Amino acid sequence: MIETWTRRSLTRRIAVPLLIAATALVMAPALLMLSRQSSHGHDLLMEYESLQASAAILELFVQRRPIDPAEIDPRIIGFGIYNALGELQLQHGSVPGELNPGEAEGYSLLRHTEPPRIRVVRVLGRTMPMGRAAPSPANGDTSSMPGGPRMRGVQAQPIVLVEYDISDHLAEQRFSRLVLSGFAVALAGLSLAAIMLHSRLEGFAEQEERRRKLVELGHASRTLAHEIKNPLGAIRLQTALLRKRLQAQYTVEVQTGIDVLEKETGRIAVLVDEMRNFLRSGVGTPEQIDLVEFLRESARAYQERVTVNLPEGPAPVNADPTRLRSVVENLLSNAIEASSPEQPVRISLQQLRRSYRFSVSDSGAGIAPKDRERIFGAFYSTKPHGSGVGLAVVRHFVESAGGKVTVGNSHEGGAEFVVTLPRARTHAQPQEQRTQPEG
Q: Spell out the domain ranges in the chain.
A: 219-278, 287-422
Contacts 24+ apart (CB under 8 A), 188-197: 188/24, 191/20, 191/21, 191/23, 191/24, 194/20, 195/16, 195/17, 195/20, 195/21
Rounded Cα distance between 225 and 280, Å, is 13
3-state DSSP call for residue 376?
Answer: helix
Bigger pLDDT: 432 vs 303: 303
For the ranges 81-95, 261-275, 379-393, the lowest mean pLDDT is seen at 379-393
Sequence-ordered list of residues with C-beta below 8 angstroms from that of 266, at least 6 positions apart, any chain: 236
111-to-108, 136, 165, 166 alpha-carbon distances in Å: 9, 23, 10, 8
Q: Check residue 282 and give its pLDDT.
A: 61
The answer to whether the beta carbons of residues 75 and 56 sit under 8 Å apart is no
The count of C-alpha atoms lying within 13 angstroms of the C-alpha of 284, restricted to the half-sphere facing its C-beta, is 25
Classify domain 287-422 at the CATH superfamily level. Histidine kinase-like ATPase, C-terminal domain (3.30.565.10)
Rounded CA separation 291/268 (Å): 33
Q: Which of 255, 236, 239 is nearest to 247 (CA)?
A: 255
Q: Give the pLDDT confidence of 342-400 residue by residue, as tens digits.
A: 888 899 999 888 899 999 998 888 888 888 888 887 666 666 565 667 788 888 889 88
Q: Is the distance from CB of 262 to CB of 236 less than 8 angstroms?
A: yes
Does 112 score more than 70 pLDDT? Answer: yes
Q: 136: pLDDT confidence band, cut at 50, 70 and 90?
A: very low
| pLDDT value at 160 more than 80 | yes
The residue that leads in pLDDT, 237 or 270, is 237
CA dist 106 and 130 (Å) reads 8
| pLDDT score at 360 | 92
Strands of 159-165's sheet in order across: 88-92, 76-82, 159-165, 117-123, 106-110
- 1 pLDDT exceeds 50? no
Place 130 in a pLDDT band, splitting at 50, 70 and 90: low
Count of CB atoms situated within 10 Å of the CB of 398: 21
Return d(Cα 341, Cα 350) in angstroms, integer: 26
pLDDT at position 48? 80
The mean pLDDT value for 138-152 works out to 37
For the stretch 294-353, pLDDT in tens is 999 988 888 788 888 888 878 899 988 888 998 999 899 888 888 888 888 899 999 888
Question: Greater confidence, 218 or 133?
Answer: 218
